[in-house]
Amino acid sequence: MQIKPLKIGNITLHNNVFCAPLAGYTNYAFRRLCKGYGAGLCYSEMVSAKGLKYGSENTQQLLFTDEQEGLAAAQIFGSEPDVLRAACEHEKLQPFPIVDINMGCPVPKIYKNGEGSALLDNPALAEKIVKECVKSGKIITVKMRIGLQESKLITAEFAKRMAGAGASLITVHGRTKDKVYAGEVNYKEIAAAKRAVDIPVIANGGVFSDEDAQRLLLETGADGVMVARAALFDPQIFCDLTGGARESKLEMFNKQTAWTKQTCDERFATVFLRKMAAFYLKGERGAAAYKDRLFRAQTTDEVSAIAKEMWGQK
């Protein structure tokens, strides 16, 4: 795909290939891994603005970063403008110069609270949120969908209102809320958003290869692409998109293991690494038997030993 620098606010990224915020996965170790393979920008897991306001320890743990990771963005969600601004100004977000407002999450408990994709049906409130968050001094971006259902597509108008409210970049997931993560990506709606605004637009949805990314850019005219689920199965997809060199799965997994253990307790690290190793096994011979052993592993050392057996000679 066409790799180019991309300016967001006063920050210039070295490329236009992003790693999406993925709840339960895009922690410090995973972001650092993807960035090392070429991602121009990685987002934190979705963080509750209220959780930050009320000092939730679990919420704050999602925002660990350090100088080794370098530039990263945080994603927050909520529906109260003042609470979202307070989250932007929270000390835990201090290391993140870019803050994304989630306006696309389709999960029922988020939607029913008037958060995530529910904001697509309340553009006036969405505008107030962006305007308030911009006052924090952060670079504010918005991740949105094309509407709640196909009968009411709002992409261009909603994108225009977010840009007018002060957003510096918009990411458009080319599916409606009711499609969740299934179905065809609507290229025309992403293209409509791009035509409607004069800030960068990132196209999201259906990128599992360099060919997918090229088509998405060609069909939409977007300024870059965002990779989501494909990165869970293969973080080195960013090598393919940016022209970097791949390394062995064992080298990759050893890095992720070390960085996960650096920031998480043994129990969490074990559970997380079991999940990730299982993702990386997709399509491999003997995957079912290895997965069974992985999910019975009780320590990170056990997971590492199985990983070495799986990928040590490959």
- Cα–Cα distances in Å, from 28 out to 16, 70, 266? 20, 11, 16
Q: Tell me whether residue 105 is one of the annotated catalytic residues.
A: yes
Is residue 119 classed exposed, middle or buried when 0-12, 13-18 and 19+ CB atoms within 10 A define those classes? buried
207/78 Cα distance (integer angstroms): 27
Q: Contacts by 247-253 with C-beta closer than 8 Å and gap 24+?
A: 248/311, 248/314, 249/280, 249/310, 249/311, 249/314, 250/307, 250/308, 250/310, 250/311, 250/312, 250/314, 252/33, 252/280, 253/277, 253/280, 253/307, 253/311
Contact 83, 101 (CB under 8 A): no
Closest by CA to 200, choosing from 241, 256, 251, 159, is 159
Q: Which residues contact 143 (CB under 8 A, 6 or more apart)?
A: 21, 75, 100, 101, 102, 103, 104, 170, 171, 173, 204
- Catalytic: which of 34, 42, 88, 105? 105
CA distances from 95 to 52, 80, 117 (A): 15, 23, 27
Q: Which residues are the active-site residues?
A: 105
